[in-house]
C-alpha cells in the first residue's frame, strides 16, 4: 500500500531560539608582571592550574607566581580545594610602560575583570587608574602599597580650597601661640612661634606671618587667603612643638585637610604638584577614582588575597546563587600579613580610603574597610557592574531572538519583563531588597514610596513618544530604580542593667 506524507495534513516546524550571548566574566583576575615568560605577542595567558606556571618557566619567588598563589589560596579557602578558577598572567616588556602593557592585555582579552601590577610604581598606578575609569569592558584595578607616608606624611603636598578664617589668637609677647585655623568648616589646631604681637592686630600679624612662611616654600598662595596650599613642610605627629619655620601639624589634622581637597582657585599646577610629590593614596583620593582599590600592606602581593575571595563570590552572583552577595569588610584572608599599626595610623589610612588587614581581639584577622579610593564600597561597584551587564545582555537577547519587538505598550512590556527577571535574580542573591525609595522622584515613583520588590521598572507611555523617535524605531526610555540591601559593618550595643 502506498502511503502519503503526513505533513500534508499536519506539518511540524521546529524553531530553536538563538543561544543567549555568554555573560561577561566577573570572576577572573589579571596579574601583570615582568618575568618575560610570556611573549608580548601573546600578552596574557590563562591559567586554571597554578602548577602550570612553574612548568612554563615562572619561579616560586616571581611577582606573578607569588600574587597568583595568594589568589588561588584564598579562592580555595572559600570555595574548596579544586574549585575551578581562571587566572590570567600578563607580560610587560622592558621597552614599554605598565599602562601600555595593561591596555594591550585589556584589548586582547575581554574576559578578566580585575587587574593588578605588583611591580608598578606610583606614576604607573596613576596612569592605569585613569585608564580603567572609562575603559571597556568595565575593569577594576587593585594596588598593594607599603608606602608608610600614607599614614605618616613627610613632605606631602596638601591643598585646601575655599575661604580661610583665623580665630582664637591670644598671647602675651614672647609666648607661643596656639591658634585655630578653620578650613571649610574643619577646625585645625596649630602652634606657631611668634615673638611679639601688637594688641588688637593679632589676626593681621598672624595672617602676614602665615603668608610669608608659605611663600618661603614657593607654594601657591593668595594674599586674600581665600585658598592655601601646604606642602614640602616637615609634618610631624607632635602637636606641641616647632622647628624653625616649620608649621607643626598633627598627622590627623593633615589628613582632615586632605579630605576637603578638590582644587585650588585657578590652581591646576597645585593639583599637579600633589600628584607629583604626594603619596599615592592622597593623589588617588584627590582624583576621586571609583574603579581603583588600594591596600596598605608590607606584603607587595597582599591585595591578590582579597581578590581570590571576591572573584569566586562574583561567579556565584553571576550564576544567581541565593544569598551570594557580599562585602569585603571583615573577611579572613589566608596568607596575608596582619599589619602592626597604631590606632592613629589606622584612622589615617581610613581617612585616605586605604584598605588594610588587621587583627582584632587577638583572634579575628580581618580585611577593612573594603572601599575604592573615592570611598565607594567595592562590593557596590562590582555588583552594579554585574547587574548592568546582565540587563544589557538580557535585553539584547530579547531583541536578537524575536522576529520583532513591536513599538507598542506590549512591546515595551516585553523589555520591562526581561529586566524584571534580572532584577529579581539580584533580589535572590541579596544585592537588592525591599525598602523605601529615598532618591529623587522617577516618573511615578516618588520619594518615600515603598519598593515592595526592591525595584521598580517604568517607561513613559508610547503615545507620548516623539515622532522622530518613533520613526527611528527607538523604545521609550526605561527607568530602573533599585533599593540596595546594603551591609552592616559595625554595631553599637547598649546593655541596660537594673538591680
Q: What is the pLDDT of residue 170?
A: 39
pLDDT higher than 50, residue 187: no
- Listed in sequence order, the residues at least 6 apart from 229 whose beta carbon sits closer than 8 Å to its beta carbon are 157, 158, 159, 160, 214, 219, 220, 221, 264, 267, 270, 273
Task: Calculate mean pLDDT across residues 239-268.
Answer: 29
Domain ranges for the chain, please list them.
Answer: 28-148+286-379, 158-276, 408-499
Quote the mean pLDDT of the chain. 75
Q: What is the pLDDT of residue 301?
A: 86
Q: What is the pLDDT of residue 62?
A: 92
Q: What is the pLDDT of residue 200?
A: 54
- 18-27, 158-167, 255-264 — which one is most confidently predicted on average? 18-27
Q: What is the pLDDT of residue 140?
A: 94
Q: What is the pLDDT of residue 12?
A: 65
Q: How would residue 409 be classed by pLDDT, with cut points 50, 70 and 90? A: very high
| Least confident piece of the model among 52-66, 85-99, 338-352, 363-377 | 338-352
CB 115 within 8 A of CB 142: yes
Task: Calculate mean pLDDT across residues 454-474.
Answer: 93
Q: How would residue 104 be classed by pLDDT, with cut points 50, 70 and 90? A: very high
Radius of gyration from C-alpha coordinates of the chain: 29
- C-beta pairs of 486-495 under 8 Å, 24+ apart in sequence: 486/433, 487/327, 487/329, 487/377, 487/379, 489/327, 489/329, 489/330, 489/369
Q: What is the pLDDT of residue 370?
A: 94
At residue 397, φ and ψ (nearest 5 deg) are -60, -40
Task: Calculate mean pLDDT across residues 362-388.
Answer: 92
Question: Higher model confidence: residue 275 or residue 143?
Answer: 143
Residue 281 is inside which H or E element, if any? Answer: helix 280-287
Q: What is the pLDDT of residue 405?
A: 93
In whole angstroms, what is the distance from residue 154 CA to residue 246 CA? 12
Concatenating the DSSP letter of every residue in 311-329 gives HHHHHHHHTT-TT----ST
Closest CA to 129 of 284, 298, 319: 284
Question: Higher model confidence: residue 214 or residue 258?
Answer: 214
CB 135 within 8 A of CB 272: no
pLDDT higher than 80, residue 154: no
Task: Calculate mean pLDDT across residues 318-338.
Answer: 89
At residue 73, φ and ψ (nearest 5 deg) are -60, -45
Question: Higher model confidence: residue 12 or residue 409?
Answer: 409
Q: What is the pLDDT of residue 298?
A: 87
Question: Higher model confidence: residue 199 or residue 270?
Answer: 199
Question: Higher model confidence: residue 451 or residue 352?
Answer: 451
pLDDT higher than 70, residue 184: no
Task: Calculate mean pLDDT across residues 251-256.
Answer: 27
> In the chain, what percentage of residues exceed pLDDT 90?
48
pLDDT higher than 90, residue 47: yes
Task: Calculate mean pLDDT across residues 453-464.
Answer: 94
What topology is assigned to 28-148+286-379 in CATH? Answer: Rossmann fold (3.40.50)
pLDDT higher than 80, residue 255: no
Q: Cis peptide leading into 212, omega within 30 of 0?
A: no
Task: Calculate mean pLDDT across residues 114-130.
Answer: 91
Q: What is the pLDDT of residue 281?
A: 83
Q: What is the pLDDT of residue 167?
A: 39
**CB count in 10 Å sphere of residue 257:** 20
Residue 470 cell numbers, joined: 518613533
Q: What is the pLDDT of residue 8?
A: 67
Q: How would residue 276 be classed by pLDDT, with cut points 50, 70 and 90? A: low
**CA dist list (Å): 401 to 64, 81, 387, 421, 424:** 42, 39, 21, 17, 21
Amino acid at each position: 500500500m502506498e502511503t502519503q506524507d503526513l505533513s500534508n495534513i499536519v506539518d511540524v516546524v521546529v524553531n530553536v531560539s538563538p543561544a543567549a550571548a555568554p555573560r561577561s566574566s566577573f570572576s577572573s583576575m589579571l596579574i601583570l608582571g615582568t618575568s618575560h615568560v610570556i611573549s608580548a605577542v601573546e600578552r596574557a595567558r590563562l591559567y586554571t592550574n597554578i602548577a602550570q606556571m612553574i612548568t612554563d618557566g615562572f619561579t616560586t619567588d616571581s611577582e606573578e607566581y607569588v600574587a597568583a598563589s595568594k589568589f588561588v589560596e584564598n579562592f580555595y579557602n572559600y570555595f574548596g580545594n579544586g574549585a575551578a578558577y581562571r587566572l590570567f598572567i600578563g607580560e610587560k616588556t622592558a621597552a614599554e610602560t605598565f599602562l601600555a602593557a595593561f591596555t594591550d592585555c585589556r584589548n586582547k582579552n575581554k574576559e578578566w575583570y580585575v587587574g593588578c601590577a605588583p611591580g608598578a610604581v606610583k606614576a604607573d598606578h596613576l596612569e592605569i587608574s585613569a585608564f580603567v575609569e572609562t575603559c571597556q569592558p568595565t575593569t577594576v584595578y587593585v594596588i598593594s602599597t607599603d608606602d608608610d607616608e600614607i599614614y605618616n606624611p613627610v613632605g606631602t603636598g596638601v591643598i585646601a580650597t575655599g575661604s580661610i578664617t583665623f580665630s582664637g589668637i591670644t598671647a602675651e609677647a614672647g609666648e607661643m601661640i596656639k591658634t585655630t585655623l578653620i578650613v571649610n568648616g574643619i577646625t585645625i589646631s596649630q602652634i606657631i612661634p611668634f615673638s611679639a604681637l601688637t594688641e588688637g592686630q593679632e589676626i593681621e600679624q598672624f595672617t602676614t606671618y602665615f603668608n610669608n612662611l608659605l611663600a618661603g616654600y614657593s607654594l601657591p598662595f593668595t594674599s586674600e587667603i581665600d585658598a592655601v596650599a601646604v606642602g614640602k613642610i616637615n609634618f610631624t605627629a607632635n602637636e606641641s612643638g616647632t622647628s624653625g619655620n616649620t608649621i607643626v601639624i598633627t598627622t590627623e589634622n593633615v589628613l582632615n585637610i586632605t579630605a576637603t581637597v578638590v582644587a585650588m582657585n585657578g590652581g591646576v599646577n597645585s593639583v599637579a604638584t600633589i600628584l607629583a610629590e604626594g603619596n599615592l593614596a592622597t593623589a588617588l583620593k584627590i582624583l576621586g577614582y571609583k574603579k581603583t582599590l588600594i591596600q596598605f600592606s608590607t606584603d607587595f602581593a597582599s591585595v591578590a588575597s582579597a581578590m581570590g575571595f571576591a572573584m569566586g563570590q562574583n561567579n556565584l552572583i553571576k550564576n544567581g546563587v541565593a544569598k551570594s552577595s557580599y562585602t569585603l569588610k571583615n573577611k579572613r584572608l589566608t596568607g596575608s600579613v596582619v599589619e602592626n599599626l597604631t590606632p592613629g595610623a589606622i584612622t589615617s589610612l581610613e581617612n585616605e580610603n586605604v584598605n588594610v588587614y588587621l587583627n582584632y581581639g587577638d583572634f579575628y584577622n580581618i580585611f577593612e574597610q573594603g572601599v575604592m579610593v573615592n570611598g565607594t564600597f567595592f562590593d557596590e561597584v562590582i555588583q552594579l557592574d554585574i547587574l548592568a551587564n546582565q540587563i544589557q545582555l538580557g535585553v539584547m537577547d530579547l531583541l536578537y531572538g524575536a522576529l520583532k519587538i513591536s513599538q507598542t505598550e506590549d512591546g515595551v512590556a516585553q523589555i520591562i519583563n526581561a529586566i524584571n527577571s534580572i532584577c529579581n535574580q539580584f533580589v535572590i542573591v541579596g544585592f537588592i531588597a525591599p525598602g523605601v525609595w529615598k532618591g529623587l522622584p522617577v516618573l511615578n515613583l516618588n520619594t518615600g514610596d515603598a519598593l515592595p520588590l526592591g525595584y521598580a521598572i517604568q517607561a513613559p507611555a508610547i503615545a507620548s513618544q516623539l515622532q522622530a523617535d518613533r520613526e527611528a524605531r527607538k523604545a521609550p526610555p526605561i527607568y530602573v530604580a533599585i533599593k540596595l540591601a546594603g551591609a552592616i559593618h559595625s554595631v553599637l550595643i547598649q546593655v541596660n542593667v537594673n538591680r
